[in-house]
Structure 1
């Protein structure tokens, strides 16, 4: 593209319309001791962030740091001489994000500002630790969260696109919400069918063993039903046995207490001429105070009246207790026999300390297990019928899922093909191979799905990860992500040199598509093309500087704006940051990118 000396100035980034973060984003990233990076902190804005710099400066360490932070493999060879590398990130997420629930399950807490902090450290010996929301967690937990937070696409990281399962998942997502609902119903039906079939096979194959186990359970239930214990009955029997054994002593104690409270029925007076019972004494005291005009004494009189009521009630309960006491030896023997029978059941069928309640729990579980162990002809026939009904549902839903995939395949391939045409891959054709086997339904349907690509006319379609080079594969992934823009729940997308081997107009088209993705996602791109970098909301430059003190190369990362950004783009275009022609060309790129973004807004 020829440089022009006059061009419309780009609108400053600060004047552009603010971008929303409906899915959340990474606001801060700190990298320490990783590769050429000693210690840098990046403030990441919304929208499109590009990372540029000289070859070998350490641009890919930003991608490496992000991958490491989100549970990627720890490579001790990347750790600097300090002996430990660390990456920390701060995420802002909407309250309804499912990431919060999984983080809470792991014991994580939000930071004071409501963000979620992740951290990962790696030692030179290869030991790795992860922290989430201030809690130490297994790296696998962070990796699990990463599936809903981060997608990395680069020449060395195309796992999502190369796996047939991911290709099938992409096609299902493209097919729409109604298709996904049918797919969810299929998964439930398939799981139910497999469970019923496995249960039937187990019962048929282990009929003798299951019948013997059922006999043991039935014998235990017969013993328990013969005794018919009630919840907590053993404790109640213990209380009755003690009461019956000590009836005389208990009666004497209760009578003595009752006499002290209400006296005897003869109403004999004590030595001082006062009634011997407590209620009469309290009543006299209450009347004496109630006759006073003093408010304090009147209140105390009321308290005494309440005390009289309480004492009378206790005396009545003591009288009932004495009346209910039974010293019958026959009744005691009956209670002891009943307690012994329940104790025998507890020893055989309950855990220590569980008592009669534990016996009843064992019986309930045994009845449930008997249903599962039933190998009678009637039970097997009923189970086989349930299995066949579930299989019929699987076949019906599986056919509907397969039809939905086939209906969506052509449209998906056509849209991806149109995107590839603008990414210097006009001759490439993508398609889906869908092989269905209704006789062998799997957990995700009856289809084997593969994304195929023919790199040029006449070339046979091959699996996309075999039919595309590294740079082409990255662009195919970019095309797919653009097709799904706004529908992908992953908030952060990282593209590592997806523009490799591209130049001219195609490079500008890559920039346009990345900017389009960045409307609904936070997109981080490592690039060597000025045409791509010109579309950025945030432009980070990686500089390699010698450490004069130790003679070690170090890396610094800085954000550039205004003239500094023009100089960086000029360096990327011509190799000379101060070239007038390069700077004019850089300003033109910024103007074109700003115009394209305004038109798309």
Structure 2
């Protein structure tokens, strides 16, 4: 149970302590005093999405009957804290920082909160499925189905988006381009060498003539130098040897260069350079660009080939997944139908207790595979003793829908603490008395905290809290017997109305 709610700061609620009791706790007050804010801040421990402020801070003290070994929570009293500053939200258990999910998982298994207008969810088919799935307790099967359906849906999307013929054409074009460039065996270094060789080859005749003349001159020079031996003393012969040797080396180098020049075929160089030019023109403009594009094409080709492989296997995988999905969906559907049969009689009994004579049932229809299976389910009913059943949106009023929602909730109660925000909307007269009796009986097994405008409910409370707003300040007070009498008179309409009733 919740023993204490402490609000340090939330909108205009500041430094407030509310000590709840077991059984039925009611919160009353004029419209606009901020009663629902109290429930919002409790809801922050389950899902702070409905909190209306960027700054809030609160604690709840929970007395837990059973230990939670998964999170190391022992039986007894524990303090849960939540604080939001700007965009960051901090959670604590007994003063120790913990992840949000831990607090919300623990608290959601203890507290169920029913907000205003929650009865409108009865008109949502997805909400009905959620109710039946919770009763069926087949969460693992639901998770397995949704994972398979996600894979199935991805395949459907891929098959609808990708044009297989176009993909094959793109792959063939990439292969041709890659083959053409690969077979050319291009390199920036070779291109530079070819350009240099072509420049030399263009001047080859001049080079040949110059090298031949130089060779002749070197031969003549060597001959002249050798004659000098007879004119010079022996001490100069060593220096002369070096000069003759250098001339001979230069002459030898020129001879080798002449052999190379004779071997150069300018036509071969031109043909090779033309290959570079053709490839650059198609895929360039530079050889560096061509080689970079080649790398990109190869990666793209690999990705497209993978996609093609997936598509070629997609029909088989799609068919296999469909078989699995239908099998699991049929099992889920059967569980849902069993769940509906399990609670429909309880709902009928609760409705009778709430002064609503109506026939209610769950209507199942089979659909194509969807994220929720193959079921479309809605509540149908009739206020007549015989005849067809119709969708609720066509036959019930707002008050009847509220009672029906309460009957459904009472049939599926799963947490020890139940919090209601004005579930009495659209309810009055004898029905209000019936509702108060129902809540009183429920409070024998659950702690109930309810914001209400009905004096019939307030009369049966274990504890009665009144909230009064004066400008930006709020007072929340636990009422004694005399104060409670005065508050209930106010709820009836004041002393004058009470006297008239007497």
For the criterion TM > 0.5, the same-fold answer is yes
CA contact (8 A) 1:88 1:117 kept: yes
TM-score (norm 1): 0.49
Counterpart of 2:165 (choices 163, 182, 207) is: 207
Alignment correspondent of 1:395: 326
Residue in 2 that maps onto 1:72: 50
CA distance in 2, matches of 1:132, 1:390: 41
Q: 2:476 maps to what in 1?
A: 557
Q: Which residue of 1 aligns with 2:336?
A: 405
Residue 419 of structure 1 and its aligned partner are, at CA, apart by 1.1
SS of the aligned residue for 1:158 comes to helix
Shift, 1:382, TM fit: 3.4
Q: 1:50 to 1:472 in 2, by over 3 A?
A: same
- The residue correspondences of 1:278-427 to structure 2 (distance < 5 A) are 348=292, 369=303, 372-374=306-308, 380-425=311-356, 427=357
CA deviation map 1:100-145 (0-9, x unaligned):
9xxxxxxxxxxxx86331448xxxxxxxx6652189xxxxx99xx7
Q: Does 1:28 align with 2:6?
A: yes
Q: Does 1:436 align with 2:366?
A: yes
- 8 A contact 1:214–1:373 mirrored in 2: no
Could you say if the C-alpha distance between residues 401 and 493 of structure 1 is closer, same or farther in structure 2, counting changes exceeding 3 Å? same
Give the corresponding residue for 1:451.
379
In the other structure, the counterpart of 1:89 is 58
Could you say what secondary structure the match of 1:424 adopts? coil
Q: Equivalent residue of 1:512, what SS? A: helix
Residue 195 of structure 1 pairs with residue 114 of structure 2: no
Deviation at 1:541, TM superposition (A): 1.0
Whether 1:161 and 2:122 are equivalent positions in the alignment is: yes
1:171 to 118, 132, 143: 132
Equivalent position SS for 1:476: helix
Q: Scaled by the length of structure 2, what TM-score is found? A: 0.57
Q: Does 2:484 match 1:527? A: no
Match of 2:33 in 1: 58
Question: Where does residue 140 of structure 2 map in the other structure?
Answer: 181
Q: Quick one: structure 1 residues 410 and 482, their matched pair in 2 at CA, closer, same or farther if it must change by over 3 Å?
A: same
Q: CA deviation at 1:532?
A: 2.3
| Aligned partners of 1:45 and 1:537 also within 8 Å | no
Q: Distance in 2 between matches of 1:514 and 1:40?
A: 31
Instruction: Return the offset for 1:555.
Output: 4.8
Match of 2:113 among 139, 148, 151: 151
Decide which of 386, 408, 412 is 1:484's aligned counterpart. Answer: 412
Q: Which runs of 5+ in 2 are unaligned?
A: 73-77, 93-99, 186-287
Do 2:167 and 2:304's aligned partners in 1 also have CA atoms closer than 8 Å?
no
Which residue is 1:286 aligned to? none
Q: Is the 8 A contact 1:67 1:152 kept in 2?
A: no
Equivalent in 4, 15, 18 of residue 43 of structure 1: 18
CA distance in 2, matches of 1:26, 1:465: 40
Query: In the alignment, is the contact (CA less than 8 A) between 1:214 and 1:374 conserved in 2?
Result: no
Does the CA-based 8 Å contact 1:482-1:516 persist in structure 2? no
2:36 and 2:354 map into 1 onto residues whose CA distance is 26
Q: What count of residue pairs does the alignment treat as equivalent?
A: 369
CA 1:372–1:158: 2 relative to 1, 3 Å: farther
Between the aligned partners of 1:221 and 1:387, the Cα distance in structure 2 is 35
Cα deviation per residue 1:411-468 (whole Å; 9 max; x = unaligned)? 322211111111121x12221111112xx21011111111123245458644335533
Give matches, 1:522-601, under 5 Å. Answer: 523-543=448-468, 555-561=474-480, 564-565=483-484, 568-569=487-488, 575=494
